[in-house]
Structure 1
């Protein structure tokens, strides 16, 4: 069951294990590849549950101003390392990537087109690329469980997790199903409500509710657009990963040794 991957938490949305899928040479290990939204509203019980995972690395895909505005809470015994490339990943200071697209959105159709434009750019934004590189290095060089997150854990996080799946040979159908799990993982309505507050407080007051839902959800066409952009610019996803993210054949072999079990 897809929902079995989800760790039910009150103040952290979309927290789930994206391992366990069939991959090249075996199956992705469970309990070592985690993804989520930000932890700024985590409850003490949430933090205790997360602490039990034993995270060694947290990769934060947000920009500096997002971290400043919504600092993530950590358990008092957290001893892992938080990795990020300094700078902004969105063009609007203090906003998530999906929020910057809200400026000209009024309808669901507007929102869908805006998200397609966003996904074309996500693989190439310099600060985001810098954090993607740190994530790939961590997966190749560290054994402890890792967590990947942004604000909502759906776009920046979704692309990075899908890249890991693709590079490790997860079937495209499984990769897409995991990406789309964002739409139903945990208390999706609470996640949408929390995200909608951010959008409307910024520049989305006049958009309709259907548009907000598109911005706060994911769609197969979005991820397809990101992968198409990688292929168009570099010939293949593998070449993009090698040339832009530094995932050499040696690094990929190291990722497989750590993350794939027979």
Structure 2
């Protein structure tokens, strides 16, 4: 059991190729749902921003009817300061524009002829030194509200941030950096100092004297030995990981304590790949704010999109290094690099088993009383 725990820590720490090599230049259109509870007549129903490989941005939208003429505005704040960017028609469902302020985060507001409007930003931030730095803004809640843009972020390891990236994050207004990694991961790739940003070490997996020598080293030793039996069936380790994170939720209790202090926003939480420990943390934030479970799962799975090139290179490298030919073994490594529905569902199942429901876990496991959830919604919902 101890060996399995050590390997589990190593799996969550796996980082096999330089993140900066695969900073995605092509981003999919991630839809931002408008009011989910009920869509009023003559309203925008979704919007997205895609950064194209040539640096232009495609702003897309949908509406439940033709809203006539449309104006597209931009601002460096989702709260106001809007400047007109273009005039078009809502029936065109989109507009391609040059970046109005390169090097800064930009939000867009689309306003229809009937006065209806929707605000949207880039889901994945255009940083050069990370692969999976995302904004959790824009997601709709079951009561028709939406998560504020520019307040809640998730990411993979930050060691590769460039000087330009750090300046960009300062322009976003980042205040707090919550690091779920173990001491060995941090020692191997420490986060850079970002002026004005408070660093918080918050390991998601408890370390023992037996494994604090370095999970990544343990995985390397495992690969060198050729004995891969401890990895189990494809996906098994990450299913176990999500169960264990729910069984030992101290790091997420600390996360919400930080989130409840408005001085800590905007906040980013991250681990190594930004998909497992961070994936569950992000899911818990969205669930606590009232975002539907289906949307939460969609956000969890987005790591596969943004890490696709990274993951393929990592698996190809392992296959070549170890001269692997067994399809099951290759699938096991592929499963370690990805996120899958069964991983997050394992966490949900553990919440149901131990606390009766997801809400039971939020209340009893994380201590989120009705008053605390109301405060979270006041801070992070429009």
TM-score by length of 2: 0.58
Where 1:147 maps in the other structure, the secondary structure is: strand
TM-fit CA distance, 1:111: 2.5
TM-fit CA distance, 1:231: 1.2
Going from structure 1 to structure 2, the CA distance change for 1:16 and 1:196 (only over 3 Å counts) comes to farther
Which runs of 5 or more structure 2 residues have no equivalent in the other structure? 1-28, 31-49, 51-121
- Residue 167 (structure 1) aligns with: 288
TM-fit CA distance, 1:214: 1.2
- Residue 266 (structure 2) aligns with: 145
After superposition, residues 28-177 of structure 1 pair within 5 angstroms as 28-75=147-194, 78-85=195-202, 88-89=205-206, 92-93=211-212, 94-95=214-215, 105=228, 110-125=233-248, 129-143=249-263, 144-177=265-298
Going from structure 1 to structure 2, the CA distance change for 1:40 and 1:205 (only over 3 Å counts) comes to farther
Q: Which structure dedicates a bigger proportion of its chain to helix?
A: 1
Alpha-carbon displacement from aligned partner over 1:32-69 (angstroms, at most 9, x marks no partner): 11000011122222222222211111111111221112
Where 1:240 maps in the other structure, the secondary structure is: helix
TM-fit CA distance, 1:132: 1.0
- Matched residues, number: 248
TM-fit CA distance, 1:71: 0.3
Does structure 2 conserve the Cα–Cα contact (< 8 Å) formed by 1:37 and 1:149?
A: yes
Distance in 2, matches of 1:141 and 1:195, equals 41
Distance in 1, matches of 2:160 and 2:258, equals 26
- Residue 350 (structure 2) aligns with: 229
Distance in 2, matches of 1:110 and 1:82, equals 37
Distance in 2, matches of 1:67 and 1:184, equals 26
TM-fit CA distance, 1:116: 1.6
Does structure 1 conserve the Cα–Cα contact (< 8 Å) formed by 2:311 and 2:338?
A: no
Alpha-carbon displacement from aligned partner over 1:48-107 (angstroms, at most 9, x marks no partner): 2222211111111111221112101133xx2122223468546743337xx69x887569
Q: Which structure dedicates a bigger proportion of its chain to strand?
A: 2
Where 2:146 maps in the other structure, the secondary structure is: strand
Which runs of 5 or more structure 1 residues have no equivalent in the other structure? none
Residues 1:9 and 2:130 are matched in the alignment: no
Going from structure 1 to structure 2, the CA distance change for 1:231 and 1:88 (only over 3 Å counts) comes to closer
Where 1:211 maps in the other structure, the secondary structure is: helix
Does structure 2 conserve the Cα–Cα contact (< 8 Å) formed by 1:10 and 1:43?
A: yes
Where 1:110 maps in the other structure, the secondary structure is: coil
TM-fit CA distance, 1:24: 4.2
Does structure 2 conserve the Cα–Cα contact (< 8 Å) formed by 1:14 and 1:37?
A: yes
Where 2:352 maps in the other structure, the secondary structure is: helix
Distance in 2, matches of 1:178 and 1:253, equals 23
Where 1:27 maps in the other structure, the secondary structure is: coil
Distance in 1, matches of 2:238 and 2:289, equals 26
- Structure exhibiting the larger radius of gyration computed from Cα positions: 2
Going from structure 1 to structure 2, the CA distance change for 1:247 and 1:47 (only over 3 Å counts) comes to same
Match of 2:302 among 169, 172, 181: 181
With a CA cutoff of 8 Å and minimum separation of 6, indicate the structure with the bigger relative contact order.
1
Does structure 2 conserve the Cα–Cα contact (< 8 Å) formed by 1:152 and 1:195?
A: no
Residues 1:23 and 2:144 are matched in the alignment: no
Does structure 2 conserve the Cα–Cα contact (< 8 Å) formed by 1:108 and 1:210?
A: no
Of 63-72 and 219-228, the range deviating more from structure 2:
63-72
TM-score by length of 1: 0.82
Where 2:150 maps in the other structure, the secondary structure is: coil
Does structure 2 conserve the Cα–Cα contact (< 8 Å) formed by 1:37 and 1:153?
A: yes
Does structure 2 conserve the Cα–Cα contact (< 8 Å) formed by 1:62 and 1:150?
A: yes
Distance in 2, matches of 1:116 and 1:235, equals 19
Of 135-144 and 64-73, the range deviating more from structure 2:
135-144
Distance in 1, matches of 2:170 and 2:191, equals 14
